[in-house]
A = this chain, B = another copy of it.
C-alpha cells in the first residue's frame, strides 16, 4: 500500500514525476511551466547552495545581486547571444494595471518605452557593470557570483529538469588574458565536479562541448555530464570561456601595465535546480528517493511509534533526548541533522513519508526500544532484503557512536553504485557509424535502456558538423562532450572516415 504507483522499469518518466510529487520535492504551479518547490526539495537546494557557495568564496569570488529585468537593447549587443535566447524571453511591457470595461488589463498609458526582459542569464547587464568598474589591470581578475532566479520560456517543461523559471548561481569573471580566463573556466568546472560528485554523490564526466553545443556567444564551453538510471545523459553544470566577445560588445577594456588599452577576457558558469532532478534520477529507487547523506536536510529522522497511550510521553522524551544527543555529534564535517517527526499522523504513514523522501537513516522507536535503551532503524539506501524491509537494532549509545560512520558509508555506497553504472554503460566497442545505428537505431520500447558510446571523430566544423548533428539527431542522439581524459592515439573518425583527433561521448539526453 505504500509503494510508489509505478516502478522505474515500468515507466521511468512517470516514476520520476511520482517521486518528485510524492516525496515533497515540488509540484506544478498555476503559472505555466513554473513549479512550487516544497520543503524537502528546497532543503536540498539550500544544502547545495551552502556547499557551492563555500567553494565559490574560497576561490576568491564575491556575491553580488543584479537586477531581474534587463533592458531589451542590452541583448542586441551580442548577436549570437540574443539569437540563442530571443525565442524564450519573458517580456515586461507595462508597469501598471487598470480596470478597463470592468476587467483589469495592462494600462495602455503605462507602456514602457523600452521593453524589459526577465533575465534568461545575466552576461549582458553584468558586462555593462564590468565596463564601468574595470579601469586598470589592477582591477583584474574581477570574480563575481550571484544566486538568482532566471526565466527561459520553454514549451515542454518537466519539474526541475526544464522549467520556465529556475533557481541557479551564475559566476561571471573578467581577466587580463586568455590563460587566466581559461584557468578560471577550468576552476569553475572543477568546483562543479567536486560538489556534484562529492556531495551529491553523482559521478560525472568532465569535458568540452562541441562547437554546435556551445553557450551562445562562448568560445569554449565545458560541461559535467551525468548518467541517469535510464541511461540518458544530464548536463549537470557548464563553464564558458567567452573570449573577448562580450568584452567587445560591451566595451570591457583595461589599461595594461604598459599603459595600452586591452580587452578583458571573460568567463561565465552556472548550475541550477536542474541538479535536483539529476539527483533523483541517479539515486531514486522503486520506494522513492534515496538522498545522499551530505545533501539530506534531515539525515536521521526519528519516528516515535505513538499509540495514544499513557506511555507516549515517555517515548517522546526518549526520542527527543536521542535527537538532541545526535545533533551534538558531527558527521561529514557538520553537526548531524537529526529530527523527531511529531506530526499528528499514523507512525506507519510517517515512516513511508521519510522513505519516499529518502532520509538516510529512519529510526522507528517503540516503547520496547525506549525501555531497553535501544534504537531500531532502517538504512534507506539498502531498504529491502528481497521484498522485506530490513531493520537494524543497536543500543542507543552504539547508534549514536556509529551514526556518523553509517552516514559516511551510505554516501560512499550511493556514489559507488552510480559510478559502477556509469562505467559499465559507456560502450567503447561501437567503432563505426553503422555500429551506432545498429545499437541506437533498433526499435525502442518505451524505457529500454541505452547507455552512452565513446567514439572518435575528426572534429569537423561548420556544415560538416551540422551534418553530424543531423545524423545523430535521427537516432535521438547528441554529442555530450569530449572528455578530459583522451586516448594517446586515434583511429578513423566514425563520421567522416578521416583520421580522428578526439574522443567524444554520444548519448540520449535530457
With contacts A64-B36, A149-B68 taken as known, whether A88 is within 8 angstroms of B95 at the C-beta atoms is yes
Within 8 A of B (CB), among A59-98: 62-72, 74-76, 82, 86-98
What CA separation (Å) do A431 and B23 show in the bound complex? Answer: 61
* Per-residue contact bits, chain A 84-119, to B (CB 8 Å; 1 contact, 0 not): 001111111111111000001110000000011110
Contact between A115 and B125, CB atoms less than 8 A apart: no
With contacts A35-B67, A38-B64 taken as known, whether A125 is within 8 angstroms of B91 at the C-beta atoms is no
Residue A46 is within 8 A (CB to CB) of chain B in the complex: yes
With contacts A36-B67, A67-B31, A68-B149 taken as known, whether A104 is within 8 angstroms of B90 at the C-beta atoms is no
With contacts A92-B118, A106-B91, A106-B115 taken as known, whether A67 is within 8 angstroms of B29 at the C-beta atoms is yes
CB distance from A450 to the nearest CB of B (A): 34
Residues of B within 8 A of A125 (CB): 29-31
Residue A446 is within 8 A (CB to CB) of chain B in the complex: no
CB distance from A365 to the nearest CB of B (A): 22
Contact between A91 and B95, CB atoms less than 8 A apart: yes
Residues of B within 8 A of A115 (CB): 94, 105-106
Residues of B within 8 A of A70 (CB): 31
CB distance from A77 to the nearest CB of B (A): 11
Interface of A is mostly: mixed
Residue A345 is within 8 A (CB to CB) of chain B in the complex: yes
Residues of B within 8 A of A75 (CB): 97, 104
What CA separation (Å) do A87 and B96 show in the bound complex? Answer: 5
* Per-residue contact bits, chain A 240-269, to B (CB 8 Å; 1 contact, 0 not): 000000000000000000000000000000
Residue A368 is within 8 A (CB to CB) of chain B in the complex: no
What CA separation (Å) do A64 and B70 show in the bound complex? Answer: 26
CB distance from A494 to the nearest CB of B (A): 37
Chain B CB within 10 Å, residue with most, of A35, A68, A115: A68
CB distance from A94 to the nearest CB of B (A): 4
A128's nearest neighbour on chain B, judged by CB, is B30
Residues of B within 8 A of A76 (CB): 104
From the candidates B86, B151, B153, name the one contacting A104 in the complex (CB within 8 A): B86
A152's nearest neighbour on chain B, judged by CB, is B95
From the candidates B31, B45, B91, B151, name the one contacting A94 in the complex (CB within 8 A): B91
Residues of B within 8 A of A64 (CB): 36-39, 42
A155's nearest neighbour on chain B, judged by CB, is B95
Within 8 A of B (CB), among A158-175: 165, 167
* Per-residue contact bits, chain A 335-350, to B (CB 8 Å; 1 contact, 0 not): 0000000001100000
Residue A138 is within 8 A (CB to CB) of chain B in the complex: yes
Residue A199 is within 8 A (CB to CB) of chain B in the complex: no
What CA separation (Å) do A106 and B118 show in the bound complex? Answer: 13
* Per-residue contact bits, chain A 115-155, to B (CB 8 Å; 1 contact, 0 not): 11110000001001100000000100000100011010100
Could you list some 24 contacts between A and B, CB below 8 A? A29-B67, A30-B71, A30-B128, A31-B71, A31-B116, A31-B125, A35-B67, A36-B66, A38-B64, A39-B62, A39-B64, A42-B62, A42-B63, A68-B151, A69-B165, A75-B104, A86-B97, A87-B97, A89-B96, A90-B94, A91-B92, A91-B97, A92-B92, A118-B118
Q: Residues of A at under 8 Å CB distance from B?
A: 29-31, 34-39, 42-43, 45-46, 62-72, 74-76, 82, 86-98, 104-106, 115-118, 125, 128-129, 138, 144, 148-149, 151, 153, 165, 167, 344-345
